Amino acid sequence: MKRPHAIIRPVLFVLGAAALVTLLGFVERSSDHMPVKDLAIELRGADQGRFIDEAFVRKQVLDMNGTVIGVPLGEMDIRAIEDRLNAVPWIEKADAYHTLDGVLHVRVDQREPIVRVFDRSGEGYYIDRNGSTMPLSDAYAPRVPVALGDLHLRDASEVHEVLDGDSLMRASHLDRVYRTARLVAADPFWNALVDQITVDVNGEVDLVPRVGAQRIRLGDGTHLEQRFEKLKLFYDKGMPQADWRRYEAIDLRFADQIVCTQRKTP
C-alpha cells in the first residue's frame, strides 16, 4: 500500500500547475484591457550611423494605427506592426510586444552594409553583412568600400533578394565582392585601408587602398584569407622600409610569393 505522502505530492503538483495556468490566463485577459501608456522603441545595430531613427519607427507604427496611447493592448495588432517594419529594406528584424505595465515595445535590428556596389547598368546598392543587397538611402551614407566593374543584376527587382551562395550572386561576381568585403569589414586594419574593390570581366578581384594608389591583385576570389595574411605580412615587414607610392601593383595570386611591380618614374 502506498504511503499517504507519496499520493499527496503528485496531487499538489497538479493542483499548483492548474492554479498557475488559471492565474496566467487571468493576467493575460486583464492586460488585454489595459490601455497603452507608452511606446518604447529600441534600435540595435549600425552603431556608426543609422539609416532610420526612432522617429521613423514611431511614424511607421502610428501610420498603421493612427494613435497608440490609450488603445487597449488587446486591440494592438502586434503581427501587423512587425510585418510592416520587416518590409523596410534597412531593417533586418523587428519585434513588437507589450508588458504588464502597459508599455508597447518595438525592437528593431538594423542591417549593416559592408560594401557599396555600382554595377555596370548604373544601379547602386549595398551588400550587408549577411550577404543580401539593400538600397541606397538619402538619409545616410556609411563609409564602406566601393565595388566597381563587371557587376550586374538582371533587373532592379532583384535588389534586396540576392543571398550568399545564390547562383545569381555567383554569375554576377557579387559573391566575390561579398567575400572580400566581409574580410575587410572584420579587420580594423583592412577596413581603414581599403577604398575600392574592382572586378573585371573575368571575375578577377583587385583592391585599391586609400593610400599608395596601388592595385592589389587578389585573383579569382579563392584563398582570400591566405592572400590577406600574405599582404599583411608584406605591409608589416616590407613596406615600412619603402615608400608606399613606390609600387604600382602588388600581386598575391601566386602561391608562397608576392610579386610587386614598381611604378615607372617620369
8-state DSSP, 241: G
CA 251 to chain CA centroid, Å, is: 31
Torsion of CA 148, 151, 157, 160, to 10 degrees: -70
Residue 25 confidence (pLDDT): 44
Residue 110 confidence (pLDDT): 92
Residue ranges of domains in the chain: 38-110, 113-262
CATH of domain 113-262: 3.40.50.11690
User: What is the three-class DSSP state of 263?
Assistant: coil
Residue 24 confidence (pLDDT): 42
Rounded Cα distance, 23 and 149, in Å: 64
Residue 115 confidence (pLDDT): 94
Give mean pLDDT in consecutive 10-residue pieces for the chain, a chain of 266 residues.
Answer: 53 48 44 82 79 92 81 85 93 91 92 90 86 87 91 58 54 85 94 93 91 86 90 79 74 86 74
pTM (two decimals)? 0.77
CATH of domain 38-110: 3.10.20.310
Query: Strand 91-98's sheet: what is its strand order?
Result: 38-44, 103-110, 91-98
Residue 222 confidence (pLDDT): 87
State the sign of the Cα–Cα–Cα–Cα dihedral 233, 254, 176, 136: positive
Which of left, alpha, beta for 134 (phi over 0: left; psi -120 to 50: alpha)? beta
Residue 243 confidence (pLDDT): 65
Q: Is-same-fold flag (38-110; 113-262)?
A: no
Rounded Cα distance, 209 and 239, in Å: 14
